[in-house]
Structure 1
Amino acid sequence: MVNNEQPSRTALMSAAARAAHLLVDSAPPIFADPLARRLLGEQADELLGYHLAYGDHPVLSGARTAAATRSRYTEDRLAVLAAQGVDQYVILGAGLDSFAYRSEPTGRVRVFEVDRPATQHWKQAVLVRAGVVVPPSAAFVAVDFEQASARTLVDELVRAGFDPGRPALVSWLGVTMYLSREAIGQTLAAVGGLAPGTELVVEHLLPAELRDEAGQAYAEVVMAAAAEQGEPWRTFLGVEEMADLLGEFGLRPIGSVGQRETVPAAEWERSDSLRPFELSVLARASVPAR
């Protein structure tokens, strides 16, 4: 489990997948995170070594596929909204996300990284050791999603400088599967109460009967490993279930995409081992005018 010195193992594995994508897979990359390796610190060689030695293994290539596609889709969407004047980006379950420290629009877009206190403390120490400067446009917001109420999340964001009267993009990637439905609802209620025009990109995992063979094989291995590390997968939602849940908490569903739809079809004509599979889905929703 998370302690005072390390983030969750899943945060490390996601960062390792993003870093390894640039080392193992063919160019051009689906997504480029040049800071991910530095954020792994002293664990970089060990974690990246697995990908370098066994990069074609379905679990490792699947992890890279999932990490690259969800990050690409979300940051592409942020670029569109930023061009329209949206200047607040909330990353729920930020883990070792590096957007705030590597991106061109950081001077124009305020970034609010939300995660558990222990993970936040660890990440800030990692940034110092890596020599990565935290820009004034970035803020850390400590919230435990399983414990926090909708009001708590909004209050903590406001305390960090977030303006609830202006729209934002909210991303919530790689988190909902670890939470109870009640906790997911509390966070959706918070997002649903933000300013009209706010958009949410939220990742959820499909139940077993909706996965393809590759997705089920990946899930069986990774789900068991996550449980052993004290971070069991708890919630699975079909596309319609997620749409209903979003609507229940005041959000207007816009649509959803699987891994295959996150990038143009031509980008799947690859010489490496990355292939889309049916397991994770990105749902997109907005806060309607009141």
Structure 2
Amino acid sequence: MVNNEQPSQTALMAAAARAAHLLVDDAPSIFADTMAQTFLGERADELLGYHRSYGGHPVLSGARTTAVTRSRYTEDRLSELAAHGIDQYVILGAGLDSFAYRSELADRVRVFEVDQPSTQDWKRARLAATGTKVPSSAVFVPVDFEQEPTQSLTDRLVRFGFDLSRPALVGWLGVTMYLTREAIDRTLAAVSGFAPGTELVVEHLLPAELRDEAGRSYAELVMAAAAEQGEPWQTFLSFEQMDSILCEHRLQPVEHVRQHETIDAAGWERTDSLRPFALSVLSRASVPAR
């Protein structure tokens, strides 16, 4: 975290990217986060102003592409699972995610937002300031991924109402690149103890040799800025490495989804600056029957 009063810069930037998508990019939108701007507070004009003025810059358009494609894929998957009875959604590193406050699906799904207490405090303050009701289905679960032992994450979730006997969807977006391998292992070990049928969607960054030219350029620019802000990228995983880690924790790999695969090919016939690039990947895995 940047300090004890504000969320991380990356949480703010991700929310700004989702909000800016509806302001800067052309229709049809890839993902409509109608609540994202709410969480920017007094920084909304500043952060959205960058996108309005320089929206075609590769870093800003890349940030929007990444933010909206990963959210689109994960929430589409949640909708599919909810249709088959899954009613628990765990968002690891929830940041300023707004699903619980804008989606009709939130009425049928219990949402466990897991993150640093300071980010949650900022979020609660913004919800209160804007008169946004926190639904009874939304639960804030304070956790530090780098410091908490495996059992602590599970215990915290259970303490806040998570049912270990029923499957869930676990979304882990925009987080693993900032963590050590040890912290990733602890979290995956906890998820592997969830009920069979649980699914995990985890985003990870590819190592340099697996990126395309746009991905390498984006990484060079953003990685340096993230380090300067005190949030350095630490972990990069190939498809094979991610599969190996998942299997080590008794999780069954299902698929790897690149940005261009998150929507139909026709959806990339766009008139704005959004283009998929090879840097981030969504890996989907499941907890098998024991």
Bin of the TM-score, shorter chain as denominator length: over 0.9
- State the secondary structure of the residue aligned to 2:26: coil
* 1:153/1:190 contact within 8 Å kept: yes
Correspondence for 2:103:
103
Inter-partner Cα distance in structure 2 for 1:121 and 1:57: 32
Correspondence for 1:230:
230
Does residue 271 (structure 1) correspond to residue 271 (structure 2)? The answer is: yes
Query: Which region of structure 1 is more displaced relative to structure 2, 20-29 or 123-132?
Result: 123-132
Inter-partner Cα distance in structure 2 for 1:219 and 1:130: 35
Correspondence for 2:15:
15
Correspondence for 1:116:
116
Inter-partner Cα distance in structure 1 for 2:97 and 2:265: 26
TM-score w.r.t. structure 1 length?
Answer: 0.99
Report matched runs for 1:146-161 at 5 Å. Answer: 146-161=146-161
Which residue type is aligned with residue 214 of structure 1?
Answer: A
Correspondence for 1:184:
184
Inter-partner Cα distance in structure 2 for 1:176 and 1:105: 26
Inter-partner Cα distance in structure 1 for 2:38 and 2:114: 21
Which residue type is aligned with residue 155 of structure 1?
Answer: D
Inter-partner Cα distance in structure 1 for 2:4 and 2:116: 10
- State the secondary structure of the residue aligned to 1:40: helix
- State the secondary structure of the residue aligned to 1:140: strand
Report deviation, 1:132. Answer: 1.2
Contiguous gaps of at least 5 residues in structure 1: none
Report deviation, 1:130. Answer: 2.0
Correspondence for 2:250:
250
* 1:24/1:55 contact within 8 Å kept: yes
Report matched runs for 1:62-77 at 5 Å. Answer: 62-77=62-77
Inter-partner Cα distance in structure 1 for 2:101 and 2:289: 33
* 1:2/1:118 contact within 8 Å kept: no
- State the secondary structure of the residue aligned to 1:14: helix
Q: Deviations for 1:14-37, whole angstroms, at most 9, x for unmatched residues?
A: 000000000000101000000101
Report deviation, 1:2. Answer: 2.8
TM-score w.r.t. structure 2 length?
Answer: 0.99
Inter-partner Cα distance in structure 1 for 2:107 and 2:275: 35
Q: CA RMSD, aligned part only?
A: 0.6
Report deviation, 1:119. Answer: 1.2
Which residue type is aligned with residue 118 of structure 1?
Answer: S
Inter-partner Cα distance in structure 2 for 1:132 and 1:214: 38
Q: Deviations for 1:173-215, whole angstroms, at most 9, x for unmatched residues?
A: 0000000000000000000110000000000000011100000
Inter-partner Cα distance in structure 2 for 1:83 and 1:149: 33
Does residue 141 (structure 1) correspond to residue 174 (structure 2)? The answer is: no
Runs of 4+ aligned structure 1 residues displaced above 2 Å come to: none
Which residue type is aligned with residue 101 of structure 2?
Answer: Y
Inter-partner Cα distance in structure 2 for 1:31 and 1:98: 12
Q: Deviations for 1:158-180, whole angstroms, at most 9, x for unmatched residues?
A: 11110011000000000000000
- State the secondary structure of the residue aligned to 1:174: coil
Query: Which region of structure 1 is more displaced relative to structure 2, 125-134 or 164-173?
Result: 125-134
* 1:2/1:119 contact within 8 Å kept: no
Which residue type is aligned with residue 205 of structure 1?
Answer: L
Query: Which region of structure 1 is more displaced relative to structure 2, 274-283 or 116-125?
Result: 116-125
Count matched residues. Answer: 290
